[in-house]
Amino acid sequence: MGRGDGTGRLVSRPDADDTGTGILHVDMDAFFASVAVLDDPSLAGKPLIIGGSEGRGVVSSASYEARRYGVKSAMPVSIALRLCPTAIVVNPPYHRYTEMSRQVMAIFHDVTPLVEPLSIDEAFLDVRGARRLWGSPGTIARDLRARVKAETGLTCSIGVAATKHVAKMASTISKPDGLLVVAAADTEAFLRPRSVRALWGVGPKAAEALESRGIRLISDILDTPRHALDQVLGAAMGERIWHLSRGIDAREVHTGRSEKSVGHEETFHTDISDTRTLHVELRRLADRVGARLRTQQYEASTISIKVRFSDFTTLSRSRTLPEPTSVGQRISDAAIELFDGIDRRQAVRLVGVRGEKLKPAAMAATLWDDDAEWRRVEGALDGAAARFGRGAVTRGSLLGPARGGGALPTNPRPSYEH
């Protein structure tokens, strides 16, 4: 398995057997860094860091040249620059990423209507029904890579397999700019030598639990009785990896993509201890979450917060609301209540607010709506944002100490989960 920097890369020959396949996982290569190079070709071949360059900026992405020095996403830029002092920090406007993503996704939809986006730069495609038009899955993947390169200037890596799980593993191993085809009959042979950490859903703690018992490779899982896996991981996780290690994955490509959560978080220039300042920041984030929920016509049933302290200790808290909401005031009230319940003995480095367990927004108003006035106010803010831009008009309560004296966030960014 590659380490995310292009080492350990495996690709298929042009005549690779694609019998029994039909699922493609397409992943753009170092997408954010590649878009930066597209806009400034002089950056090609250089170690690039995408992120804020001042204060406590965080790495959003990095080129493969930078990754080989150990630079990773979510790493503080200051640490990344110590690992790779020659790296260039760039931060193209976010609209460039969404613009390029739309172009790429449009190409995918030209091949098949069965496209399941996972994020801004990757998607599953079911091409089993496109054979008559475009050829076998392997042929479709080769042509798709060439078309993406010709029309956008970007490269992508594609895994072709019989299931979503194996296709995703294959695309990862083939990066960057590669194609790896795993015929249905070759699935077990492909999986056996891979690390247990390559299995979808096996996080660091689960991997450590398995490795501590000598289960390091997928072949070890195949040789482990099912009841033993359940004892180590629990019945649900045990069942999942038992199936995935055998290439069993019944999940279909779903075109109706819906977000499971919507969140925003901010990292501060300097650690903050003042409770009022932190309350203001939580309300600001809650308003942004509410605005996104309303734009996407969702309501959140659960509100969660994330708090990172000066020593990098990170806590999260959540609560379920009596009724789902997209009202920023209601979200901020819940967030502040959760925050005030935390025993804070250190200054705060980062705060985040997230709406979870999303449901389609209720279309009909109830007879008594306790949030009617806030809906009217926030609807007016939405209208102003649409005309003049987000932040042109805001609540007076947000014009507090959080916007003065070094408390400006250095890395305000949306966080997505699908």
pLDDT tens column, 123-146: 999 999 999 899 999 999 999 999
Is the domain defined by 16-192 classed in CATH 3.30.70.270? yes
pLDDT given at position 39: 92
Residues 222-251: pLDDT tens digits?
999 999 999 999 888 899 999 999 999 988
Residue 107 has pLDDT above 90, yes or no: yes
pLDDT digit string, tens, across residues 304-336? 999 999 988 899 999 998 888 999 999 999 999
Cα-based torsion angle of the residue sequence 168, 173, 179, 180 in order, rounded to the nearest 10 degrees: -80
Compute the average pLDDT of residues 150-161.
97
CATH architecture of 261-388: 2-Layer Sandwich (3.30)
Domain 193-246 fold is DNA polymerase; domain 1 (1.10.150)
Is the predicted pLDDT of residue 260 greater than 80, yes or no? no
Position 383 confidence tier, pLDDT thresholds 50, 70, 90: low
Tell me what the mean pLDDT of segment 339-368 comes to: 79
Instruction: Please give the C-alpha separations between residue 237 and each of 165, 172, 245, 346, in angstroms, as whole numbers.
Output: 15, 22, 12, 36
- pLDDT value for 269: 86
**Where along the chain do the CATH 3.30.1490.100 domains lie?**
261-388
Predicted pLDDT of residue 390: 47
pLDDT at residue 60 is higher than 70: yes
Name residue 89's beta-bridge partners. 49
In this prediction, residue 202 carries a pLDDT of 87
Q: Is 15 annotated as a binding residue?
A: no
Question: Which distant-in-sequence residues (6+ apart) come within 8 Å of 396 by Cβ?
Answer: none
Which residues make up the CATH 3.30.70.270 domain(s) of the chain? Answer: 16-192
Beta strands at 314-325 and 348-360: parallel, antiparallel or unpaired: unpaired
Q: Where in the chain is the domain with CATH 1.10.150.20?
A: 193-246
For the ranges 77-81, 157-161, 248-252, 363-367, the maximum mean pLDDT occurs at 157-161
| Residues involved in catalysis | 122
Is 27 marked as a binding-site residue?
A: yes
